[in-house]
């Protein structure tokens, strides 16, 4: 049985690790919060008390962490993944971080005989629960093929997109599109409500036409009900928009609409809504429109 160490058991991590258990993998989880580890244990996994304990005997190591500094600490730290992983192990960082950090982790991993892939995901909490995530993978093609059984257990779409760092570049583009789409759906909802339209009926017909998109399918009902329990927090999307704008500037690419959306995300976060789901961009539209917010 393949042993998988899973580090980072948050909103996405617990269901992903649990799906690996259901797929027949021996999953050892570690998280700073012991309660999160116990949720995995209740689903059939095993708990570890440290990164070292989790990864030492693992064939595959997965990290699912909030930001680039977290990955740098856990992967590159003096008591981190690359120090304790056995030679030949596969290391999949499924966090959403800066492409340059992923490239550096990949380079240092290869120097230690560890096969490293950056494999960020899209699909949110529901996709993690359903094992229907989309995974964009950077790294060596042969390492990607070796990782396919693990990736297929948590995702519906798995695509190799290039060398180390490429997965994170594609994820940055994904987050640009998602934020822009949420903002437009939010604006459309506030516009429709201002005219007293049956918004549920409107969303149904919009979703069936050229305006149809995953945000309408998965987020619109919660937006209409003003239910913003986090599947993906504003705080994290704010971080991701910073990544895409910095990467675009480095490449000399202009993102005029992306820059505006990044400012709208930042504004909603500054209003104290960073812990809400990114569909809470609706609150920003309401405020700008002078309409009452829930």
- Cβ(94)–Cβ(65) below 8 Å: no
Q: Please identify every residue annotated as catalytic.
A: 171
Task: Give the H or E element holding residue 187.
Answer: helix 166-194
- Cβ(230)–Cβ(276) below 8 Å: yes
Q: What are the φ and ψ backbone dihedral angles of 111, each rounded to 5 degrees?
A: -65, -25
Q: CA-to-CA distance for 38 and 214, rounded, in angstroms? A: 32
Q: Cα–chain-centroid distance for residue 246?
A: 18
Domains contained in the chain, CATH given = 3-162 (3.40.50.720), 169-288 (1.10.1040.10)
Non-local (6+) Cβ contacts of 56 within 8 A are 84, 85, 86
Round the CA-based radius of gyration of the chain to a whole number and report it: 20
pTM for this model (two decimals): 0.92
Closest CA to 230 of 179, 275, 262: 275
Per-residue pLDDT of the chain (294 residues; tens, 9 = 90+): 799 999 999 999 999 999 999 999 999 999 999 999 999 999 999 999 999 999 999 999 999 999 999 999 999 999 999 999 999 999 999 999 999 999 999 999 999 999 999 999 999 999 999 999 999 999 999 999 999 999 999 999 999 999 999 999 999 999 999 999 999 999 999 999 999 999 999 999 999 999 999 999 999 999 999 999 998 999 999 999 999 999 999 999 999 999 999 999 999 999 999 999 999 999 999 999 999 887
């Amino acid at each position: 049985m393949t042993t998988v160490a899973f580090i980072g058991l948050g909103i996405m991590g617990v269901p992903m690790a649990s799906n690996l258990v259901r797929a027949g993998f021996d999953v050892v989880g570690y998280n700073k919060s012991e309660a999160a580890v116990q949720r995995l244990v209740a689903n059939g996994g095993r708990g570890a008390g440290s990164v070292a304990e989790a990864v030492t005997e693992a064939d595959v190591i997965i990290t699912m962490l909030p930001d680039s500094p977290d990955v740098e600490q856990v992967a590159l730290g003096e008591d981190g993944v690359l120090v304790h992983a056995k030679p030949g192990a596969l290391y999949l960082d499924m966090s959403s971080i800066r492409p340059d950090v992923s490239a550096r982790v990949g380079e240092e991993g290869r120097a230690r005989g560890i096969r490293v892939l950056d494999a960020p995901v899209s699909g949110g909490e529901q996709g993690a629960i359903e094992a229907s995530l989309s995974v964009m993978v950077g790294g060596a093609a042969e390492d990607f093929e070796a990782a396919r059984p693990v990736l297929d257990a948590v995702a519906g779409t798995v695509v190799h997109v290039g060398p180390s760092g490429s997965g994170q570049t594609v994820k940055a583009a994904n987050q640009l599109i998602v934020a822009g789409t949420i903002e437009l759906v939010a604006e459309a909802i506030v516009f429709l409500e201002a005219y007293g339209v049956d918004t549920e009926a409107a969303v149904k017909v919009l979703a069936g036409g050229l305006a149809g998109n995953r945000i309408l399918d998965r987020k619109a009902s919660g937006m209409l009900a003003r239910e913003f329990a986090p599947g993906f927090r504003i705080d994290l999307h704010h971080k991701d928009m910073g990544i895409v704008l910095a990467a675009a500037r480095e490449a000399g690419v202009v993102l005029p609409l992306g820059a505006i959306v990044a400012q709208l995300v930042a504004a909603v976060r500054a209003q104290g809504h960073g812990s809400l789901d990114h569909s809470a961009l609706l609150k920003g539209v309401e405020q700008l429109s002078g309409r009452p917010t829930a």
